[in-house]
Chains A and B, each alone.
Chain A
Amino acid sequence: MLLDGKVPTGPLAEKWDRHRFDLKLVNPANKRKFDIIVVGTGLAGGSAAATLAELGYNVKAFCFQDSPRRAHSIAAQGGINAAKNYPNDGDSIWRLFYDTVKGGDFRAREANVYRLAQVSNHIIDHCVAQGIPFARDYGGLLANRSFGGAQVSRTFYARGQTGQQLLLGAYGSLMRQVAAGKVRMFPRQEMLDVVIVDGHAKGIVTRNLISGQLERHAADAVVLATGGYGNVFFLSTNAMGSNVTAAFRAYRKGALFANPCFTQIHPTCIPVHGTYQSKLTLMSESLRNDGRVWVPKSPGDKRKPSQIPENERDYYLERKYPSFGNLVPRDVASRNAKAQCDKGKGVGETGLAVYLDFADAIARDGQDVIARKYGNLFQMYEKITGDDPYSTPMMIYPAVHYTMGGLWVDYNLMSNIPGLFVIGEANFSDHGANRLGASALMQGLADGYFVLPYTIGGYLSGTSKADVTTSHPAFETSEQEVRAMVDKLLGIGGKRTVDDFHRRLGLIMWEYCGMSRNNAGLEKAQAMIQELRSQFWQDVTVPGSAGDFNQSLERAGRVADFLEFAELMIIDALARQESCGGHFNEGYQTPENEALRNDEAYCHVAAWEYRGSDAAPTFHKEPLTFENVHLSQRSYK
């Protein structure tokens, strides 16, 4: 079946304005008659919940954390893009649009990306009005820096804590609406099912993580803002609680999952150093503005970095990509780091690391300037590794960071299930096969502050209001299914822990569905995952009970979903017989080892429909048409 993205007609630059005019409005007095559920309170969910409440809707907001302020958007470091062109260096809405489409390796929907670039400027205006302390120049105006994949300085930042500041801004707006009585906040609640009545999303079933009680919540529309699924790899830069469960349970209820194999491996993370390790830590990409990436020229060189003379170092990114240098997009930087390590040139105890060296920048600008820009990152690096990056180069290696894939949505950010909207990282829409740095914060806030609040009105005004209560049989069925799964997990009584299974799954995914993939490996991984999943359901042990604060049970449910979802990623990767962005199939590369797309056959979104736990999903295609940018081989040389 061909999917319709419902992209409005007309010239690209006018589509959003025209569409906003064409959307039916909900009368201000009627807005208070509508209840909207928002699941997740990160940049997308927090901003959406606050804005919907400002407009007059009644909002119920849910998060699994103890407070909405803790959503993992908070950990975003580097910055947020906008097409303000304050530095006067040639930026424009068109250039941000173009860079994003190209950076995504031409696998995103043009109209969505253009809209994103358009609203980017409003985000900065709003966030400054909220009191977000962005970095400023001496004259008091906002400062900008450049970021991977762009040749202009369009990134706004608040030291290395931009995500924190933007999230706390959205959280403040959300708390204001809680105080106003327009938002009811449900922290420490995990969504475990979406309830569909007559084909429309009408509510959710949640588990209260303190009491263990299952709860039913009804509404006129449901918004999922539940983030990405990077933790399918076990080790990632995501928070420990980040999961696919809400999105996956929606998938099981009929929502299509788009491009699940598009995952982003971030080039600058602290390398893995032990089997007990629980997560990986990102070092902001902004470090590549001043740090130089290098490895020793000869394989197996175990000398200390200070003992390797200049002419025996290979600054491979600067050598291979003279115009972008260390600022190539993330997928390119990551693959190149892996290629160097595969040649035996990796550094550190494991040989799975490259140097990110600040010596030249410190000599040029002085230690004070570098400390002001990156002080908190250098400090974090030292805390974790015990090494001081002012005196010795950092060691970095790629790690799973972000997922471009997600639930399929149309131009209105609505899934194929009417009334079920998906925003932020949880949807698939704007980043194609690779996301550019500082674009995730932009997309989350664009969706939440400036897109969804309009488009959801179009749905609500165009649908007859059915007052569904939580006593509807669909809620009963959902709750029974959720309860059955919880009881099943607790009843297995096996001998292996949840983390044990999760770690094994992660190793399989990293090995066969990570930075580079091949068909034989993917097929092997599929069989391994099926085997691991069947072992899980026979041999996992989940201590404690259902009616309690039970963190093992929370994790067990999430890992059960990851085990099933991982196979969908493999199926998607196998179906896409090309390389593009973060999806690099070794069978498809240029003579210079760059990703080789096949636009004839794969210039589309692959969206998968659930057919059962052990049945193959059904493939649906949304063809992508590029009317405004020319499909070309990405070149960063």
Chain B
Amino acid sequence: MSAQHLHLTLKVWRQKGPRDKGHFDTLQVRDISTDMSFLEMLDVVNEQLTLEGKEPIAFDHDCREGICGTCGAVVNGRPHGALKGTTLCQLHMRHFQNDDVIAIEPFRAMAFKVIKDLAVDRSAFDQVIQAGGYISVNAGGAQDANATPVPQDRAELAMDAAQCIGCGACVAACPNASAMLFVSAKLSQMALLPQGRPEAAQRALAMVRAMDRMGFGNCSNETECEAECPKEINITNIARLNREFFKAGFGSRAK
């Protein structure tokens, strides 16, 4: 496919720091190849701003192949843009038209403070994982890897959930800024595998508590999270989280 070149109007959120009020800047951008990724388009804009002696747009990004979960912005109202199952770094400009106006904002949530422009602090996710998003096993003591067979379909379901990249799009998409999809993905991976069962009850209680403590909202079945998740994590994981949580509350001694 040969590349076309686009002229675009960007409305970009600029914010100096967490205490700054922030505002939209309007920028005209020319000669954007349709083969570029969205972030490469921002690179071009930043080169231009730098040469004009202006401050480039701050945005987080790293692997640029859709797996590290670092990048993300709300593009025309949609986290990671409108293309389904795609991170911002994998969104290519061939999905835009000449003379499009594109609004670019940071992921917004009480638990995600803006650091600068489009970069936000998602360390609340790390704190939720610290509450129990792991199996408590030290290096060195494990039995042979094949000692416990895991039915293939269960392993596949666990893998479906484990694909979460922790980008935060689910939180940005949710009207309640809930982190239920994120939490349920990790919890489901562990709950579906025999290795994760011994701590399942404690994990469910601890992770949900941590999520509440960090200021994420609750789930009210809007399903926006599933629609925007770049890894297409299924909301049945949230149902599993709820079941695990109830089981822990009523059917176990976990506190």
Footprint of B on A, CB under 8 Å? 47, 50-51, 54, 65-70, 72, 74-75, 84, 86, 122, 124-142, 158-159, 161, 163-165, 168, 171-173, 175-176, 178-179, 185, 187, 210, 239-241, 273-274, 276-279, 281-282, 349, 379-380, 383-387, 449-450, 453, 495, 497, 499-500, 541, 543-544, 548-549, 551-552
**Do the beta carbons of A126 and B139 come within 8 Å of each other?**
yes
Given contacts A66-B123, A133-B193, A497-B51, 19 further A-B contacts (CB under 8 A): A69-B126, A70-B62, A72-B63, A84-B145, A131-B189, A136-B152, A140-B150, A142-B145, A172-B135, A210-B115, A239-B63, A273-B35, A349-B2, A380-B90, A497-B50, A543-B53, A549-B17, A549-B58, A551-B58
B43 within 8 A of A: yes
* Chain A residues whose CB sits within 8 angstroms of the CB of B166 once the complex forms: 67, 69
**Do the beta carbons of B68 and A72 come within 8 Å of each other?**
yes
Given contacts A54-B139, A130-B137, A240-B62, contact A75 B43 (CB under 8 A): no
Report the minimum CB–CB distance from B187 to chain A (whole Å): 11
**Do the beta carbons of A133 and B47 come within 8 Å of each other?**
no
Comparing B102-110, B156-164, B216-224, B245-253, the segment that makes contact with chain A is B156-164
A139 CA / B153 CA spacing, docked (Å): 10
Q: List 9 A-B contacts (CB under 8 A).
A: A70-B69, A72-B68, A130-B134, A133-B162, A171-B129, A172-B134, A274-B36, A385-B1, A549-B115
* Chain A residues whose CB sits within 8 angstroms of the CB of B69 once the complex forms: 69-70
Within 8 Å by CB of A137, from B35, B51, B152, lies B152
Interface residues as binary, B119-139 with A (CB distance below 8 Å gives 1, 0 otherwise): 101110110011101111111
A499 CA / B39 CA spacing, docked (Å): 14
- Interface range, B side: 35 or more
* Chain B residues whose CB sits within 8 angstroms of the CB of A128 once the complex forms: 142, 145, 148, 195
Q: Which 10 A-B pairs have the closest CB atoms?
A: A140-B149, A172-B134, A129-B142, A125-B142, A133-B159, A128-B145, A179-B130, A133-B158, A239-B62, A449-B139
B interface secondary structure, majority: loop
* Chain B residues whose CB sits within 8 angstroms of the CB of A178 once the complex forms: 126, 130
Within 8 Å by CB of A74, from B63, B119, B189, lies B63
Q: Which residue of B lies closest to A210 (CB)?
A: B115
Report the minimum CB–CB distance from B50 to chain A (whole Å): 5
A313 CA / B225 CA spacing, docked (Å): 47
Q: Which residue of B lies closest to A209 (CB)?
A: B115
A309 CA / B85 CA spacing, docked (Å): 36
Chain B residues 143-181 with CB under 8 Å of chain A are 143-146, 148-152, 155-156, 158-159, 162-163, 165-166
**Do the beta carbons of B44 and A276 come within 8 Å of each other?**
yes
A86 CA / B144 CA spacing, docked (Å): 11
**Do the beta carbons of B143 and A543 come within 8 Å of each other?**
no
* Chain B residues whose CB sits within 8 angstroms of the CB of A135 once the complex forms: 155, 159
**Do the beta carbons of B195 and A130 come within 8 Å of each other?**
yes
**Do the beta carbons of A50 and B133 come within 8 Å of each other?**
no
**Do the beta carbons of B126 and A67 come within 8 Å of each other?**
yes
